[in-house]
Amino acid sequence: MASDTYRWLARYYDHLFEFRRQFDTARESVIGPVLPEVKAACDLCCGTGTLALELAAQGIEMYAVDLSPDMCKIARKKVRGTGLPVHVIQADMRAFVLPKQVDLVTCEFDALNHVPHKRDLGRVLRSVAKALRPGGHFAFDVNNRRAFERVWANTWFLEKDPVAMIMHGGHRRGSDRAWSDVEWFIRSGDKWSRHREHIEEVCWSAAEIRSALAVAGFDQVKAWDAAPFFEDALTPAGNRTFWRARLRPGAKARA
């Protein structure tokens, strides 16, 4: 993703996307069991900072990392005045560095799928491994190829004053890449402006994810299909998977 995508999406993200309840439900199973041991954490690809603020409100020192300057700006604005310990860092998930090691890294809402190339998964996992203390956990969710086939190759329309958004999705059958051309119509008084954004995702098989996690030094890998958490038409079984893995206590961070 270029750092200037997620510009309009950043501005209207909290206004338009209201999937938080399903992620809250998933989180109870995925990170709930390890949360009591977490004192410091990082929300990677934090978007507007909602999860970082929520975890900080539970007493966790938070780092919130995102590549989009607009997302970081909004996250900082939401943090300001709360007095909560959330440090927002603009960085690429493939090469981010934290000032100290944390007990948990989260990466929600298929943010991991946003890397430009499939091979970038290894780079992200190495950066996450360096950010974690040995024995710390990485929790993330990904879109699977089934989601690209069943959901992405459609046109979606969302409208909530003052914005209307059309997403024209695409996926080349048999490939591990999908895209969405997003068209924005934004009302200001009685005038409308029109903007475009392009988003791409790549996906991996479960076997590819397990193998990349092992290479980066993770063990105790657990996976959950998202369907029971989401219970919606967009998320039938097989579309989205939640993962949690532990950085092996003896694992050495690799350059």
Ligand X SMILES: C[S@@+](CC[C@H](N)C(=O)[O-])C[C@H]1O[C@@H](n2cnc3c(N)ncnc32)[C@H](O)[C@@H]1O
Report the interface residues with ligand X, using CB under 6 A: 1, 6, 45-47, 66-68, 71, 92-93, 108-111, 114-115
Nearer to ligand X, 28 or 219 (CB): 28
Q: Which residues touch 63 (CB under 8 Å, ≥6 apart)?
A: 40, 41, 42, 43, 52, 86, 87, 89, 98, 99, 102
Question: What residues pair up with 252 in beta bridges, in sequence order?
Answer: none
Sheet with 191-202: strands ordered across: 155-160, 163-171, 177-188, 191-202
What is the smallest separation between the CB atom of 43 and ligand X, expressed in angstroms?
7
Nearer to ligand X, 92 or 225 (CB): 92
Q: Nearer Cβ to ligand X, position 234 or 248?
A: 234
Helices then strands (H, E): number in the chain? 8, 11
Which residue's CB atom is positioned nearest to ligand X? Answer: 47
Return d(Cα 40, Cα 62) in angstroms, integer.
6
Asked whether the beta carbons of 64 and 52 are under 8 A apart, the reply is yes
State the nearest-atom distance from the C-beta of 63 to ligand X, in Å: 12
When the beta carbons of 18 and 190 are compared against ligand X, the nearer one is: 18
Minimum Å gap between C-beta 44 and ligand X is 7
Q: How far is the CB of 105 from ligand X (least distance, A)?
A: 12
The two structure tokens encoding residue 7: 């510009």
